[in-house]
Amino acid sequence: MESPTLADWVGDVESFSSHQWQHKPAVFTPETLASPFDLDELDAAFDSGLLRTPYLEMVRSNKVTVPAEAYTTSRVVNGTTQHGFADRAKVVGLLRAGATLLLRHVDQWHRPTADLVARLSGELDRRVEAFFFVTPADGQGLAIHRDDADVFALQVAGRKTWHVHSAPTTSDWSLGELPDDEDSPQLLRRVLEPGHVLYIPRGFAHRAVGEAGLSAHLSLTIRDISLRDLAAALQQCLTEDLDIPARPLGEAAIADAAATLLDHARTKLATIAPDDLRHTARAAQTQTQTQARQPGGEAPRPETFTATARNWDSGTPGTKRTGLASVVRTWHRLRDAGRSTA
């Protein structure tokens, strides 16, 4: 199934870019928008037996840390005890006690979510990551906080009340929970139903509270560049086309390298514009998510083991022939060659 586009999430992309993007929160109600990850996929992840920390975490908004052993189990693998495997019974018990289940970086281990993330990353020219939250009634996984990312929240199951507050008032704002003495005016309060999409601009404070039953949402965080990214981009731009030995030997060679580096940097600096830094930083940030895509926007799939096994000895171009059958063919070829020269 083809991954959704930005238009599937927000409708009119031009209107969204002009009025909401990085300006104000908004709720969208697409006619048909299915999440690539839902409660059935969550069950499948648990059924696989491979889900483990740090990809899952149980959290509370009251500053109480839920220890990993409270929702995981240990196994003996090859004679060694391995910890951190997800325990569904423990997770459900903690959900019933008011904790929230958080799955981190779903795009790293769930292919349909990875396809969605890759597509949105290409459209937005930003690094995108996916998180999944399951919250009980009246539960609140995270206290009111600010993220260093724009956020799309797709309600997957149940109902959840979202509170979005204003943007930071100073440029030196901090991530995480708001200080107790910070009064941030509320801009939006909305109960999301399955299929609804909430957009929260970068830095806008927010929190979410579960309604009746169990609720779940997929959160896509769109990371923008930081000062560190710009500084790394500047270093990259300043050292492009620089021809200096990587390991100069002796003080004289080191001094020459330092002088050459400074002269090169001064010359390059005069040619670098702010847009150059911005584009270089964004390219570095998204390079792992902007690989060549198949039609439809999905990242190319590597050859499966099933295909590898089927093509192993079929003579498919580009397939290396190895294994017992290949050895036998090689032996026959050498044997026949020997006979022809006898």
Average pLDDT over residues 300-309: 77
* Cβ contact 45:110 at 8 Å: yes
pLDDT in tens, 253-275: 999 989 988 998 898 888 888 88
* Cβ contact 199:150 at 8 Å: yes
pLDDT at position 38: 95
pLDDT at position 167: 84
Sign of the C-alpha dihedral computed for residues 238, 244, 246 and 250 taken in this order: negative
The whole-angstrom separation of Cα 212 and Cα 142 is 18
* Cβ contact 91:57 at 8 Å: no
Q: Which of 134-138, 181-185, 292-296 has the lowest mean pLDDT?
A: 292-296
Beta-sheet pairing, 186-192 with 206-210: unpaired
Give the neighbor-by-neighbor strand order of the sheet with 206-210: 176-177, 145-146, 206-210, 160-165, 186-192
pLDDT at position 292: 37
Query: E-assigned strands of the chain?
Result: 26-28, 56-59, 72-77, 80-86, 100-103, 127-136, 145-146, 149-157, 160-165, 176-177, 186-192, 197-200, 206-210, 214-223
pLDDT in tens, 65-115: 899 999 999 999 999 999 999 999 999 999 999 999 999 999 999 999 999
pLDDT at position 293: 42
Quick one: CA torsion of 71, 40, 8, 222, rounded to 10 degrees? Answer: 20
pLDDT in tens, 193-248: 999 999 999 989 988 888 888 999 999 999 887 788 888 888 888 888 888 888 88
pLDDT of 139 > 80? The answer is yes
pLDDT band at 291 (very low <50, low <70, confident <90, very high): very low
pLDDT of 330 > 80? The answer is no
Which conformational region is residue 139 in: left (phi greater than 0), alpha (psi within -120 to 50 degrees), or beta? beta
Element containing residue 193 per DSSP (H, E) = none
pLDDT at position 170: 77
pLDDT at position 294: 43
pLDDT in tens, 159-185: 999 999 988 877 777 777 777 667 788
More confident position, 328 or 103: 103
The fraction of the chain above a pLDDT of 70, given in percent, is: 86
More confident position, 18 or 179: 18
More confident position, 168 or 25: 25
Type of residue at 335: R
pLDDT at position 95: 93
Instruction: Report phi then psi at 198, rounded to 5.
Output: -105, 130
Q: Residue 342 class from Cβ within 10 Å (0-12 exposed, 13-18 middle, 19+ buried)?
A: exposed
The whole-angstrom separation of Cα 152 and Cα 133 is 13
More confident position, 34 or 342: 34
pLDDT of 18 > 50? The answer is yes
Q: Which of 24-38, 67-81, 289-303 has the lowest mean pLDDT?
A: 289-303
Average pLDDT score, the chain = 84
pLDDT band at 142 (very low <50, low <70, confident <90, very high): confident
pLDDT band at 304 (very low <50, low <70, confident <90, very high): confident
